[in-house]
């Protein structure tokens, strides 16, 4: 795995490969937590995002569902 691109972790908003040192500035909506994280931080796959009246859910085909209630624990 060493030196192989795609080691992760991945940025959940932009899909940038943080393990490879990529960095992308968040948009204002992303900084405010208003945008759903469309990428799985564990595998970098694009997740299926559904916006709900209470927030959002994001489903990774490999890692399952995350919702905004979980992400708002900070």
Question: Count of residues binding Zn ion (CB under 5 A)?
Answer: 6
Figure out which of the listed residues 12, 13, 60, 66 binds Zn ion, where binding follows CB under 5 A. Answer: 60
* Shortest spacing between CB 53 and Zn ion, in angstroms: 25
Q: What is the DSSP letter of 38?
A: -
Binding mask 4-43 for Zn ion (x = CB under 5 A): ------------------------------------x-xx
Q: Is 65 in the site for Zn ion (CB under 5 A)?
A: no
Q: Is 62 in the site for Zn ion (CB under 5 A)?
A: yes
Residue 66's φ and ψ, nearest 5 degrees, are -125, 145
Question: Residue-wise over 39-62: b if at least 16 C-beta within 10 A, else e?
Answer: bbbeebeebeeeeeeebbbbebee
Q: What angle do CA 60, 41, 50 make, to 5 degrees?
A: 40
Q: Is 49 in the site for Zn ion (CB under 5 A)?
A: no
């Amino acid at each position: 795995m060493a030196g192989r691109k795609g080691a992760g972790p991945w940025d959940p908003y932009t899909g940038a490969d943080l393990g490879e040192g990529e960095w992308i500035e968040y948009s204002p909506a992303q900084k405010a937590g208003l945008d759903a994280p469309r990428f799985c931080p564990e595998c970098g796959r694009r997740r299926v995002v559904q916006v709900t009246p209470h927030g959002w859910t994001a489903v990774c085909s490999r890692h399952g569902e995350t919702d905004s209630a979980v992400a708002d624990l900070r």
